[in-house]
Amino acid sequence: MNPILFKNYTRREISDLVGGGQLVSYLPTLHGKVLCGCFDPKVNARAPFEIDVGRKDPPTPKVMKAAHLLASQKNDIPVFIKQKADAWQYIGRYRATGYSEDPLVLRTRPDFRKDAVGILFLEALAPEGAQTLPDIDLENVGGAEGRQFLVMHLARERQPGLSDAKKRQVLQRKGFLSCEACDLRFDRFNELGIGCCEVHHLIPLGARDRPETTRLDDLAILCSNCHRMIHRTKPLASIDAFRTLINA
């Protein structure tokens, strides 16, 4: 049975979902395999992408072994983030990209837990049923948009994949999606909320008289309400100006 995205589970329910493992470990294992990750942001501020592993005193060899195991096997695991006492939200499947105990690496990480021994690096996988994006340099993503073509009326051509790439960029940077105007977190409302996550062009396509390259920094994440309202401002308001307007 697969967990439901953004639903909360108890540790007992998680154990039943993944087929066993320790109820108190943040990397429970069974028969030489890491079953899932259960991370508390109060302990791991950079979760789910960087996990501070182990403890110097007293030592924690089991969890360090689990981190090594996950990094070496390259398996993907379901990841849960603690919301409150025994309520862990499923946020998708992640794969380990590496593990380091190098002191130079540890010292460069913000909010590194000083008694930890190593860092486990994770990356998010595309949700089940979603179209998988190819590996791309998110900082240099762009595509020509705005060419006019005849349907039943003149419309502005949009580059396929830019919206998904923008959402992926924000997820990698923040770990969640939220409206840049009203701060609504879409994961609060499960799939209904994700469906209201829209991508807004900071420079409207209608203002272009010829195709121009749209980069990810030319886009913003907005909820459906804010997206509709911001397009009613004349001239089109910036995100900062619109935030001021709706909070006045």
Q: Where in the chain is the domain with CATH 2.30.280?
A: 8-124
Q: What is the pLDDT of residues 173-220, one digit of tens each?
A: 888 889 999 999 888 776 666 667 899 999 887 776 677 777 888 999
CATH architecture of 8-124: Roll (2.30)
Return the exposure string of 208-235: e unless at least 16 CB atoms fall within 10 Å of the residue's CB, then b: beebbebebebbbbbbeebbebbeeeee
Let me know: does 157 contact 149? Beta carbons within 8 Å: yes
Instruction: For residue 21, give the nearest of 40, 1, 37, 35 by alpha carbon.
Output: 35
| pLDDT attached to residue 130 | 46
Q: What is the pLDDT of residues 30-43, one digit of tens each?
A: 999 999 999 998 89
For residue 242, pLDDT over 90 is answered with yes
Minimum mean pLDDT range among 119-133, 166-180, 207-221? 119-133
